[in-house]
Amino acid sequence: MAKLYSSPSADGFYMPAEYEKHHGTILIWPVRPGSWGNDPSNAQEAFCKIITELSKNETVYLLTDKDHLEEAKRKVKNNAVILEIPSNDSWARDVAPTFVTNKQTIRGINWKFNAWGGEFDGLYSHWELDDKVASLFCENTGKDYYDFGNFVLEGGSIHTDGEGTLLVTKSCLLSKGRNPELTMSEIESTLKDALNVSKVLWLPYGIYNDETNEHVDNVCCFTSACNVVLAWTDNQNDPQYKMSLADYEYLQNQTDAKGRKIIIHKLPIPDVPVCISDEDMDYTFEEGEDTRQVGERLAASYVNFYFGNNIVLVPQFGGENKASDKRAIDILTDLCKDRKVIGIDSTAILLGGGNIHCITQQIPFC
């Protein structure tokens, strides 16, 4: 194991698509009171359901601190390899390594993490443990990795087809709390070097009220080469309408890295906005941590699903959204014919600030 400072693309490494075969998936045990509440059992139950499904077809790595090691072992049973790696929260997509491969071996990428905005608009004041997760995971599992120094990036802000095309949002990557000293062109150049892509598609927006400055993984992703799903609503009074329309019009005029037209499949958001209720308000927030309010609209989106080996795990919100839950399952079943599409009750994860894709990070096969 060694820390590497050369260029992934120059070394012949690239980021494969999420829907390609995995070696495994990383998750982090949820315990933070400001995200999962003073009783995190509902969130932990949702995590366990996801771990159980994934572990049938790939290796699951679960990270936890020493204080919660035995709890995690007891609840997860034998469905995961548990590693004692502490973190500030449980967003594996954003703090775990991004993996690249040359089809013979895999290496990790360690980005700078600053809690989605640092001192400008970050979501909590202390993120030192989160920032060490990627390097510690690589060191604990014997994987070489590239260190991109002070370049701030989260895994949820990028999505690739594995064939040279990368999806990002302007609202996130150009936010003032990440890399304000860099131009859009310089950010794009770094991404091309790190992930070995030749074309970056800059969508204007993500999901309304997404506290990550609108990560792309909540609004748009590839389901196969040329094909993307885009979060959508037909309700012109919904603030999401203009955001999704701008993304749709942008993508209509784009091709992928191979010159192929992007085929857009609309994946409607929940029919009824998912908001925080009085019953949900059982949090303890640290000083400097972003707080929640009763009635606050959460960034619910079915695009925040996750490709496992042979399966697709799709958020489900229940209640008034049973019909839209089923619609999302039907759409993704039609698009992912070679996989079993499984709905996961993920409202407890949404209350933490994200969803299934946000808590998972894939490790590809060589």
Phi, psi of 315 (to 5 degrees): -60, 140
* Reported confidence tier of residue 1, pLDDT bands at 50, 70, 90: low
pLDDT of residue 250: 98
Q: How many CB atoms lie within 10 A of CB 120?
A: 12
96-131 pLDDT, tens digit each: 999 999 999 999 999 999 999 999 999 999 999 999
Phi, psi of 270 (to 5 degrees): -55, 140
Q: What integer pLDDT is reported at residue 2 of this predicted model?
A: 65
Checking if the pLDDT of 286 tops 60, the result is yes
b/e per residue 247-268 (b: at least 16 CB within 10 A):
beebbeeeebbeeeebebeebb
Q: Is the pLDDT of residue 3 over 80?
A: no
358 a catalytic residue: yes
In whole numbers, what is the pLDDT of the chain averaged over residues?
Answer: 97
Percent above pLDDT 90 for the chain: 98
Which pLDDT score is estimated for 175?
A: 98
Question: In the 3-class helix/strand/coil scheme, how is 179-210 assigned residue by residue?
Answer: CCCCCHHHHHHHHHHHHCCCEEEEECCCCCCC
pLDDT digits (tens, 9 = 90+) for 150-196: 999 999 999 999 999 999 999 999 999 999 999 999 999 999 999 99
* 315 three-state secondary structure: strand
Count the Cβ atoms, other than its own, within 10 Å of residue 290.
Answer: 17
User: What pTM was estimated for this model as a whole?
Assistant: 0.97
pLDDT digits over 287-344, tens only?
999 999 999 999 999 999 999 999 999 999 999 999 999 999 999 999 999 999 999 9
Picking from 107, 108, 66, 65, the residue whose alpha carbon sits closest to that of residue 90 is 65
Of 138, 221, 358, 366, the catalytic one is 358
CA distances from 25 to 59, 124, 169, 271 (A): 6, 25, 24, 31
What is the DSSP code string of 167-181?
A: EEEHHHHT-TTT-TT
Assigned token pair, 262: 């992007």
Q: Which positions ≥6 away from 362 have C-beta within 8 Å?
A: 18, 22, 24, 25, 26, 99, 307
- Candidates 178, 138, 176, 185; CA nearest to 156 is 178
Domains of the chain: 3-364 (3.75.10.10)
SS3 label, residue 212? coil
Average confidence (pLDDT) over 51-72: 98
Name the 3-class secondary structure at 152: strand
